[in-house]
Amino acid sequence: MFTEEQIQAIEKASLAEALKLVTDQFPEATVLSSSLGQEDQVLTEAIAVNKLPVKIFTLDTGRLFYEHYDLLEKTNARYKINIAVYFPEDSDVEAYVKAKGANGFYESVENRKECCFIRKVKPLNRALEGAKVWITGLRSEQSDNRKDMKMIEWDEDRGLYKFNPLIRWSYNEVLNYIKEKNIPYNPLHDKGFVSIGCAPCTRAIEPGEDPRAGRWWWEASHKECGLHVHQ
């Protein structure tokens, strides 16, 4: 368990120091879920360079952009790591496509959330088995749902701590860190894709649009897939 004193120390520490404080408390039971987005690349760099005992994994939904796979290979090679890849269950995908079609998620919010559950939430739950700390790249300015999140939260449903070390970072701070450290990133970011998910569910955004506007752009929702729903 984290004490209030430990949480305060983590909140005041630098990124690398905060990550070390957390992994010192929970060695071999801390994981990073990476979408290979800019924030997650920042965290991967900090973890790899400081040789911290964190398992890094990503979810392959089967509908990702080619650039994602290219970046995965570059990241593994750059930091000499092996990011674990989790896939959805074949039977789940086959049943969904048979019942609702390959692109049934366009037809309703319910269909889209079911697709996200099959392709993302269930694989995530498998990846988090045995973990005591789940590191994420969430930032408070990304969406209304995330603005009240704390740096360290207890996830009652999953029975672990959720550690959001970048929760107070601005987007410019992320970009500056990537530039300073020469961190590899998805070239789609340079083409207006701020938040990148599955290819059929992501578009570039226009200047001034909300950062999450490009996700599930055809629907009016909270722009969440279910991985980080804040209670």
How buried is residue 40: exposed, middle or buried, by Cβ count under 10 Å (0-12/13-18/19+)? buried
In a domain, 17, yes or no: yes
Domain membership flag for residue 47: yes
Supply the pLDDT for residue 213. 87
Whole-structure pTM over 0.95, yes or no?
A: no
- Please state at what angle helix 171-181 crosses helix 38-49, rounded to 10 degrees: 50
Beta strands in the chain (DSSP E): 30-33, 54-59, 84-86, 133-135, 152-155, 160-163
Among all chains, which residue has been given the structure tokens 């957390």?
A: 22
Judging by beta carbons within 10 Å of its beta carbon (0-12, 13-18, 19+), is residue 78 exposed, middle or buried? middle
Q: Which of 163, 164, 169 is CA-nearest to residue 141? A: 169
- Evaluate whether residue 182 is within a structural domain: yes
Residue 203 belongs to a domain: no
Range of the domain at 60: 4-90+118-189
Q: Which residue has the tokens 């630098």?
A: 14
**Would you give the DSSP letter of residue 202?**
B
Contact assessment for residue 30 and residue 132, using Cβ atoms and an 8 Å cutoff: yes
Please name the residues in contact with 177: beta carbons below 8 A apart, sequence gap of 6 or more.
42, 183
Tokens 């207890």 correspond to 154
Q: What is the pLDDT of residues 92-110, one digit of tens each?
A: 999 999 999 999 999 999 9
Residue 212 lies in a domain: no
Question: What's the pLDDT at 147?
Answer: 72
Q: Is 125 domain-assigned? A: yes
Count of domains forming the chain: 1
Q: What is the pLDDT of residues 135-183, one digit of tens each?
A: 999 998 876 666 778 999 999 999 999 999 999 999 999 999 999 999 9
**What is the Cβ-side half-sphere exposure of residue 87, based on CA atoms within 13 angstroms?**
6
Residue 40 has pLDDT above 90, yes or no: yes
Mean pLDDT of 40-64: 98
Q: Say what the alpha-carbon torsion angle 38, 42, 44, 49 is, to the nearest 10 degrees.
A: 150
In the predicted structure, residue 35 carries a pLDDT above the cut 70: yes
Q: What is the CATH number of the domain that holds 53?
A: 3.40.50.620
- Asked if the structure places residue 229 within a domain, the reply is no
Q: What is the pLDDT of residue 221?
A: 59
What is d(CA 229, CA 222) in angstroms, rounded to the nearest whole number? 9
Residues with catalytic function: 225
Q: What is the pLDDT of residues 182-225, one digit of tens each?
A: 999 999 999 999 889 999 999 999 888 887 889 898 987 555 45
